[in-house]
Structure 1
C-alpha cells in the first residue's frame, strides 16, 4: 500500500562517492509510524529526514526500550535496486520486540514502506562496487512515565544511509583482541535481541581493544569466559581441519542473517558444518598447530571479515599467515555476488524496488 509522502523542501547534495564511511550520510526522507495501546499502529507516513520529539522520561531513554535492525539495498548489475533478505530481518525484529515487551510490527506493511522509501530516495543508492544503501529500522518506547514497566506508546522509524566499508581494512584481515574481562551479553539476558543496550555494553571493551591497536573484540561466554560467542558486532566462524564451526545460537548470541546465509551456502557446497561450542584454548592451539586455517566474522555491515590475528592475555597468534583464506574469500565473493547479480537470485531472498 502507498503511504502519504511529504517531500523535503531542502534536498541535500548526494555524495558522488561515500568512500569508506559508514553512517556519515543520510538520505532526504524517512518512514515513521506510531503505536498506542488499544489502537495499534497508526499514522504511517513518509516525510523529511530529521529529529523527532521525545518525552524526557520516555522508556527508551530511562529504561532502554530501544531496538533496531538493518540490512542493505544494492544497485544490481542490471540496474535494478534490490533489498537483500528484508523478510529475514523483519522476522528478527519481531523476535526483538517480543523480548523487550514491545509491540510487533506487521511485516508486509513495513516491507511496503521500505520499498516505497528506498524507491523515493533511489538516487542515493551508490553506483560503486562494494557500496550500498543501509536501511535502518528503529523502534523506541515514547510514553513519558517513571514506573518500571513497558511503555504504552511507541514510534517505529526507517531511515537510509549510503555506506562504504564498515571496517577501514575492508575485506583485508583484521586484528582482534580476545576479552575475558568484559562480556557482550549474559545468559538469560537480551543478547539474542538487537537491543541498543547490547551495543552500549560493548563500547568499553571495544575502545580498550582499539587503544591497543586492534579492530574489535572476540567475546567469550559470560559463565565460564571460555567459549567463543561473537566477534565485535558479528557472528564468528572457523575452519578447523575440514570442518566449518560456528557457535550454536543461545539467548546471548544474536541470530545473524549473514550467518544464516553463510550456513546455507556452505552446506550447499557440501562442506561439513557444525554449530557447536569451541573453547578459546582449543582455538589458540589450533592456530599454533595450523589445524585452524581460517577465522572470520559475518554481519550485515561488514558482510564477511577475515581475522588475521588474535591476541589473548598479552600474546598474539597470526591466523593463516595473516592472509584471507580460500573459504573466507569464496564466501565473501558468493554473498556479495548475491547482493548485486542481475536477475532473480536462486533462493528468493531479494526484493525488487520498482
Structure 2
C-alpha cells in the first residue's frame, strides 16, 4: 500500500542516545528512541504530522486529558529480519481499531494517510533502533489525548496524536499464576471496554495489586453482572484449551478485539485445531481442571504474543495446569513470530514492509 502525505515536517535530532543502549538487555518499554511523531488537531482538522526529537510535552493545566480522561492508544511492534529489513504486523488493523476507540471516546478519527505514512516515515528515521537480538523488537505506542482546555464536561476542541518508540527485549513472563476475579470488573455493558482507552487500564491496577498481594501475577476478568463468565486475562485476551478444543470468548462492548487474538484464531484454523468462539463459564473451567480435561490457558496480546498460564486460583483453591510437550501456545506463538520476523511465508497478508 502506498500513501502520499505532502510536506511532512522532519526535524532530526542533533544527537543520538543509541550508543548508550545495551540492546542485549532491554526491559520492556523503558528506553525511548531519538524521535517522535506529533500531529495536532485544531480548528476542526488534523494538521500535517511533524517528526521531532523525543522531548517532553507542554500542556495547559486545564487540558481536558487531565480532567475527563479523553485518551486512547495502540500497541504495535516493528521487527527486523535476518537481512536487516524492517517489517510491521497488521498496521492497518491498528489504525482501524484506533479509530474505533476514537469514535467511542468522542475524539476525531485519524486519517489513514496520517497514521500510515507518519508511522513509516518515523520508522525510516528510527530503523537503527529496531533491535536484532532474538525475540526483541521496536515497540510502537501511537496515542491520542485531549489537549484542548476547559473545566466544562464536554469533548475537547484540540487533540494531540503522538507516536513514540521503545526498543524492547523478548517479553518473557515465566510461569504465570492468575486469580479469577469475583468482585471487581474490567468493564461493563454499554461501556468502553472494547476501546483502548487509558482509563480502562488504570481501573485494572487496584484489583491486580490485590491479587499480587495474594501471591498471583495477574487477574482473570469475569463478566460485570454475574462474574460467572471468563472474559480477559489482565490486559490480554484469553484462550482456554479443553481437551483438544481451543476456546475464546466473543468480542463485545466489554472485550477488546485483539489483533493477536484474531491472528491466533486464523492460524489455529490453518493448523486444523478446533476452535470455538463462545462464552465460557468459570464453572466449566473449574470442572475441566478437576477432571483433567483442562490442558492450557494463555493470554494473547502484542507485548508477549502468547503468555502461558501455569495455574489459576478461584474461591480459595488453586488449580495447576499440566506441562505439555504438544502445547498449542508454543505452536501458535512460533507461527505468528515467524511471520512477524519474515522467517516464513505470509499466506495471510499480514506482514507490512516499512
Q: Which interval holds the TM-score relative to the shorter structure?
A: over 0.9
* Residue aligning to 1:347: 348
Quick one: which of 150, 162, 183 aligns to 1:145? 150
Contact 2:49 2:114 in 1 (8 A): no
Contact 2:338 2:344 in 1 (8 A): no
Contact 2:11 2:52 in 1 (8 A): yes
Quick one: which of 311, 316, 334 aligns to 1:314? 316
* Residue aligning to 2:94: 89
Matched residue of 2:47: which SS?
A: strand
Structure-2 separation of matches of 1:143 and 1:30: 21
Aligned counterparts, 1:10-21, within 5 A: 10-14=15-19, 15-17=21-23, 19=25, 21=27
Structure-1 separation of matches of 2:336 and 2:18: 31
* Residue aligning to 2:337: 336
> Between Structure 1 and Structure 2, how many residues are aligned?
348
Structure 1-normalised TM-score?
0.94
Mark the runs of 5 or more structure 2 residues left unpaired by the alignment.
Answer: none
Contact 1:308 1:324 in 2 (8 A): no
| Backbone CA RMSD of aligned residues | 1.6
Shift of 1:167: 4.5
Structure-1 separation of matches of 2:287 and 2:126: 50
* Residue aligning to 1:326: 327
Matched residue of 1:308: which SS?
A: strand
Shift of 1:271: 2.1
Structure-2 separation of matches of 1:344 and 1:266: 16
* Residue aligning to 1:274: 276
Mark the runs of 5 or more structure 1 residues left unpaired by the alignment.
Answer: none
Matched residue of 1:77: which SS?
A: coil
Shift of 1:345: 2.2
Contact 1:78 1:342 in 2 (8 A): no
- Is the counterpart of residue 194 in structure 1 residue 196 in structure 2? yes
* Residue aligning to 1:304: 306
Matched residue of 1:87: which SS?
A: helix
Structure-1 separation of matches of 2:318 and 2:344: 45
Shift of 1:32: 0.6
Aligned counterparts, 1:68-147, within 5 A: 68-147=73-152
Structure-2 separation of matches of 1:325 and 1:183: 34
Moved over 4 A (4+): none
Shift of 1:209: 1.9
